[in-house]
Structure 1
Amino acid sequence: MRLRKFLPLLLVAASVTTLSLVACRKSDSAPASARNTATVTTTLSGRILDENHNPVGGASVKAGNGTTTTNVNGEFTLAQVSVPASAAFVKVEKQGYFTGSRTLDVAAGREHYVSIELIPRRFVGSISATSGGTVDLGSGGSLRFDANGIITEADGAPYTGTVRIAAYTYDPTAANFAEVMPGALRALNSNNEERLLKSYAMVNIELEGAGGEKLQLASGKRATLTLAIPAGLQGTAPATIPLWYFDESKGLWIEEGSATKQGNQYVGTVAHFTPWNCDVPSDFVDYETVLVSGSTTASGIPIAQARVQLISAIGNGSMYTDNNGVLRLPMPINQRIEMNVFDRCNRLIHTESIGPFTASTSSTTYISNYYSATAVTFTGAVTNCNGQGVTNGYVQVLINGNIQRAAITNGTYSFLYPSCDSSVSALLTPVDLGANLQGATVTVTGRAGATASNALSACGQSSDQFVQFLFNNSAVRFQPPADSLIAWSYPGSQETYVYALPDAAAGQQQHNLALQLRGPFAAGAQTVLALGLTHNYLYYEMPVGGASAQISSYGSTHGFIEGTFSGTVRDSLGLNSFPVSGSFRVRRDN
């Protein structure tokens, strides 16, 4: 049985982690590189976004001995946490997404900033555990399973049902690669020596049973993994390349096996499922520089939280200076590196070539044209339809295409935006979560260093969201904030994804639903490309052409998509069919 490629995956646990390794995995207790042994107390902060750069609120963020949750604007702070100085690991979990993470160098007593983009967790196919089979991973990749090679992760018992595969293929040449990939391109080789990596192909894979249980390969079994090499890397791709899996306990990639180049693909075998990476390792030196505004240390000040882009022969990446303006990281040895510095408004303000380095280096980088952003404050009262202050809601702020959200506290919102211009215009939309209403969008112009006060009314349009379906005469309804509803629009393929899942604290999901449509972004009939649901812990999906859908309203970006669907779904063995129908009203995420 096959699911259509990119069908959104409906998770079975509120917090999804990369699968722990059951079979044929190197021990997590193996000693790490000596560079990672020192522990320091520091502060980590940042912002979590989805693939459309919308803030992700309610995500769990962990680092060292600290845990917190992102606010409505996707922001978090973990103060005074104990982490390895040379491999601090920030882990982000949110239902409906693959686990996001970042590995970075930190210093005691400082504040370090990270930006992480979460990737939706989607099914790409399914196989029978007893007969095995091949699944198309998309982007030119595939995964082949032998027969009778799957076990349940919880107890290691043989599994004989349907295996569903969730996967995402990363593009090492993509501009956002450093934002979405696990950890960083840092690894321990087979001799337990730390190395930097140049990636030629990367994928994240997780297995799940028909009832939502987590699965793994049985001991002694292997699966054949094929990954396409991006066009821009094919000319330098070696004939044989090491394989690496990501180890969350270290925040590093671990060498295990190798892959061979066949045409424009790498082919290798793996004994467990986590993120996998085809990389060439290289030596490195420690590098540290302080970014200072002005031409001398005496005349300038450190530039905190500046985004720095580094471009070298082994790849590109971005990171941020700490609160003292310090950038620290391992640098590839004997490589010229282009360093680009951006201000708080994401404007390029400095470019220089650094290296090659043959030994650890400390320096100061002077930036003469740095212009410190000046905050514009947007604030005001937000009232409901009765003229009373809203107690549970937020104001969505759209500035220069960037989405921010300001929580409403005691009937008032306040939002600071760093501006590099004398004035900035913002589109403000108030939302009353308690009443499921929102007000009209208002354009407000603020001036740098000043406060723009504007009262808002969260009244006039329903902000109610829901997904509901009737399965074999049994009704199920999803509604936030208790449940998660997500809708994505993809203009290139004219496809719309809608899915719903419960925000259970733990355990398998009793119900969920995913719907993939193709058609104009307007009212009218849609082609149903895929429909899958879980009902009472069992999974069902539609046969080809087994459903229809009708859109009644297709709002603009961050507006609402409303519609209905109906059809037939079959159980995971394809033996029994059941009628299903439903309706939805979900806010577009893009």
Structure 2
Amino acid sequence: MKLLKYLVPVLSLLLVTSCFNDDEFNADTSTNNSQKVDPVIAQNFGATIQRNFLGTVADINGSPLVNVKITIGNDEVRTDDNGVFIINNAQVFERFGYIKAQKIGFIDASRSVVPTDGTNQVKITMLPKNTTATTQSGTVETISLSNGAAVALQGAYVKENGEAYNGTVKVTLHHLDAAAPETQDQMPGMLYAQDAQGQERGLVTMGMLAVELTGSNGEDLNLAAGTTAEITVPVSQSLLVNAPQTIPLWYFNEEHGFWVEDGEATLQGDRYVGTVSHFSFWNFDIPVEKILLTVNVFDVLNQPFADIFVMIGSEFHGFRYATTNSLGQIRGFVPANQNLTYQIFFNGYCINESLPIQSIGPYTSDTEINLTGIELPDDTILSIETIEGQFTGCENIPIVNGYVRIYNNGVFTSANVVDGNFNTTIIRCLDDVNLNFAYHGYNYDTGQTSQIYTGEFTDPVTIIEITEACIEPPEPTGYFSIVLEDISQGFDSNLNYVTPNPNGFSMWTKHYIDDHLNMYLTLPSNELGVYNSNDEGVLFEFYLDSTHFFHSDYFEHNITFNLLEFGEIDEFIEVTYAGTYVDEFNETQEVTGTMSIIRSF
């Protein structure tokens, strides 16, 4: 979906919801550990309920991330080739749901939401776990980003088991600008917290900082007991006028999915500086009293108005936007006892039209309101279209776990399939180019897809049908094998990627059905010959299961790669490898194997 690029939050409120057709209003990226906390505010979460979730996970460039582990409660799935995950009937709470995303090479990510009825669509952006700088134990050093974000380290570190660590320390540092619209997708959880008195609070962020420390063998590290570090974040110029001289510090608790107050920072010029005793995702925030606001939007025919932006502004704490779900609903926490405003935008499909700003509130307790009779700003160029239909597989059996993507005017909408049925509402342009639309279906369980269909909008409802979703994944274009002391694995793969880099190439593969299995290799040259895992420009990783995985950035290693073939386009690249590495249990492992992928560039 298109985003209104000019809707940059003045201050990031805690208006986050379960939609990006249905997420931004709901509103474990800690790094190494979070302090234990008694989740006192969990008593406010309400009763246990079941809800459906359809989400996408992407990197900071917007590219979908495959094979991300997604966890909601006891349910665990992996993202598909589109970066999509589906969990139906997930167990959450009436006022709180927590979605975790994990992938090797990235900082753990998450999203906390206030679940809505219908399908909760969630968007998560994962931050790369790259090395900003290295330091040594026993060395006092400050690691900085170009924008002034920094962490000052005293040099004393421990492993997860509390054992002292001596050696090289890799530091990963990410700053999130409170005024940047992408922050709401990159931050963990939502802006919802437990303060020092155990009370729930909404947060208005002035900036965030993620810090991760990794040992030379890939160990997660943290600050030694009794030591501290100083963290600094720059404050956006647009926020300085509202920046208090002192502000509470909050860390994200990965176990429970909310922020916890721990210390304070002071404003020094245009930067906040604070002291912390452990590393996590840290947040510099103003706490506010909050209520839960549910907004239902209806059009002139009293039908739910889906897929439109609703911007909620507060008297003192800026604004945030959300997108209505398939039921025309958004839910989230807003400041209590403050005059509020709302404004409706129409996604910028043809024009960046909006309706006039309207006043609501103030509210002293949880509130549900209906916005009725909402009209398009110009019905001569925009139209609301309802699309519904059925999705069946090869044996004409309804698809239980899948989704449909509908494309119109360069915008796609994803609709969850429940018991073979789906429905969604979109806004389209009334011009000759956009009379038709395209659509196809994905069977999430098998990876099979349908053909791409085209349809024409009809009034009042467009009925479509997707049958025989029997297109199998492409024939294998690659193969890899790996042999360890206690496991041997080999398989054909049809999910292979070969990309050039300035000097060499990268090749990546994974198994379609058992998507735990994957392997990635970067070599610094296309020249046939022998390379070592410690050579500059070499990167190697594999993941077989939770106890058999490797990444050359985080483990000691000595692995030799022999580039045997580098064919022309549509011919094979052949690599064999053998060597040793030190695993997460500090044990030396021997590894051998092959990679064979058809060259695509």
Pairwise TM-score range, normalised by the shorter structure: 0.5 to 0.7
Residue 93 of structure 1 corresponds to 102
Deviation at 1:269, TM superposition (A): 2.0
After TM superposition, the score normalised by the length of structure 1 is 0.65
Give 3-state SS (helix, strand or coil) of 1:183's partner.
coil
Cα distance in structure 1, aligned partners of 2:229 and 2:472: 55
Deviation at 1:334, TM superposition (A): 1.9
1:39–1:306 CA distance, 2 compared to 1 (3 A): farther
Residue 267 of structure 2 corresponds to 261
Match runs of 1:42-441 below 5 Å? 42-51=50-59, 52=62, 54=64, 56=66, 59-63=69-73, 66-69=74-77, 72=80, 73=82, 74-79=84-89, 81-83=91-93, 85-106=94-115, 110-111=117-118, 113-124=120-131, 125-137=133-145, 139-147=147-155, 149-153=156-160, 155-294=161-300, 300-303=302-305, 308-312=310-314, 314-321=317-324, 325-332=328-335, 333-340=337-344, 342=346, 350=355, 352-360=357-365, 361-369=367-375, 372-375=384-387, 399=407, 401-402=410-411, 419-421=426-428, 423-426=435-438
Question: Which amino acid is 2:341 matched to?
Answer: I
Q: Tell me, which stretches of 5 or more residues in structure 1 are unaligned?
A: 1-15, 383-393, 408-412, 470-475, 519-527, 543-548, 555-559, 566-570, 573-581
Give 3-state SS (helix, strand or coil) of 1:301's partner.
coil
Deviation sequence 1:26-69 (CA, Å, 0-9, x none) = x42252275x2532313142312313153756642314xx4142
Residue 477 of structure 2 corresponds to 464
Cα distance in structure 2, aligned partners of 1:77 and 1:234: 41
Give 3-state SS (helix, strand or coil) of 1:178's partner.
helix
Contact 2:32 2:220 in 1 (8 A): no
Deviation at 1:198, TM superposition (A): 1.7
Deviation at 1:310, TM superposition (A): 2.9
Give 3-state SS (helix, strand or coil) of 1:86's partner.
coil
Question: Which amino acid is 1:88 matched to?
Answer: G
Deviation at 1:245, TM superposition (A): 0.5
1:357–1:323 CA distance, 2 compared to 1 (3 A): same
Residue 546 of structure 1 corresponds to none
Deviation at 1:345, TM superposition (A): 7.6
Contact 2:72 2:91 in 1 (8 A): no
Deviation sequence 1:505-536 (CA, Å, 0-9, x none) = 99xx9997675999xxxxxxxxx995444699
Contact 2:57 2:123 in 1 (8 A): yes
Between 49-58 and 246-255, the greater mean CA deviation after superposition: 49-58
Cα distance in structure 2, aligned partners of 1:239 and 1:336: 26
Provide the alpha-carbon RMSD of the alignment: 5.8
Give 3-state SS (helix, strand or coil) of 2:99's partner.
strand
Contact 2:477 2:496 in 1 (8 A): no
1:317–1:183 CA distance, 2 compared to 1 (3 A): farther
Residue 545 of structure 1 corresponds to none
Contact 1:178 1:317 in 2 (8 A): no
Between 252-261 and 159-168, the greater mean CA deviation after superposition: 159-168
Contact 1:373 1:420 in 2 (8 A): yes
Contact 1:168 1:203 in 2 (8 A): yes
After TM superposition, the score normalised by the length of structure 2 is 0.64
Cα distance in structure 1, aligned partners of 2:189 and 2:250: 13
Across the two proteins, how many residue pairs are aligned to each other?
511
Residue 4 of structure 1 corresponds to none
1:54–1:534 CA distance, 2 compared to 1 (3 A): closer
Deviation at 1:418, TM superposition (A): 5.3
Deviation at 1:246, TM superposition (A): 0.9
Cα distance in structure 2, aligned partners of 1:430 and 1:511: 22
Deviation sequence 1:516-566 (CA, Å, 0-9, x none) = 999xxxxxxxxx995444699887679xxxxxx9x9999xxxxx999999x
Deviation sequence 1:387-426 (CA, Å, 0-9, x none) = xxxxxxx99978354578999xxxxx99988554473344
Contact 1:511 1:537 in 2 (8 A): no
Contact 1:446 1:452 in 2 (8 A): no
Cα distance in structure 1, aligned partners of 2:288 and 2:235: 19
1:377–1:322 CA distance, 2 compared to 1 (3 A): closer
Give 3-state SS (helix, strand or coil) of 1:122's partner.
coil
Cα distance in structure 2, aligned partners of 1:494 and 1:396: 40
Deviation at 1:217, TM superposition (A): 1.5
Q: Which has the higher strand share?
A: 1
Deviation at 1:220, TM superposition (A): 1.0
Contact 2:29 2:252 in 1 (8 A): no
The share of aligned pairs that are identical, in percent, is: 19
Give 3-state SS (helix, strand or coil) of 1:32's partner.
helix
Give 3-state SS (helix, strand or coil) of 1:121's partner.
coil
Contact 1:165 1:207 in 2 (8 A): yes
Cα distance in structure 2, aligned partners of 1:61 and 1:68: 5
Deviation at 1:276, TM superposition (A): 0.8
Cα distance in structure 2, aligned partners of 1:587 and 1:117: 31
1:103–1:533 CA distance, 2 compared to 1 (3 A): same
Cα distance in structure 2, aligned partners of 1:377 and 1:344: 27
Cα distance in structure 1, aligned partners of 2:413 and 2:295: 31
Q: Tell me, which stretches of 5 or more residues in structure 2 are unaligned?
A: 1-27, 377-382, 395-401, 429-433, 483-487, 526-534, 543-547, 557-562, 576-580, 583-593
Contact 1:466 1:586 in 2 (8 A): no
Residue 524 of structure 1 corresponds to none
Deviation at 1:365, TM superposition (A): 0.6
Residue 529 of structure 2 corresponds to none
